[in-house]
Amino acid sequence: MDDRPTVVRLEPWSEQEVDNPASNAVCRGAGFELLGARDFAYPPGRPMRCNDWRFDLRRP
C-alpha cells in the first residue's frame, strides 16, 4: 500500500483563440494567468492558435 498523500491539482484552465480579444479579456479579468499561445484542434481536425490560460486556486 502506498502511504503517500494523494495530490490533487487545482488548476482550472481555459483555451481561447488568440484573435478573440473579448474572451481573452474575460480570462484576464477573472485572474487567469496567461501561459502562452499553443496550437490546438477543436473540433478534431480544425487547427487553431489558442492562448492557454490557467487559474491557480491555491494562491491567496
For 7-60, the pLDDT digits (tens) are: 565 678 788 899 999 999 999 999 999 999 999 888 889 999 999 999 988 877
The span from the CA of 51 to the CA of 38, in Å, is: 6
pLDDT of residue 56: 86
Residue 5 has pLDDT above 70, yes or no: no
Alpha helices in 1-60 (DSSP H): 21-29
Segments making up each domain of the chain, as ranges: 13-54
Identify the residue with better confidence: 6 or 57. Answer: 57
CB-CB contact of 13 with 56 (8 Å): no
Q: What is the pTM of this model?
A: 0.70
The single-letter DSSP state of residue 49 is: E
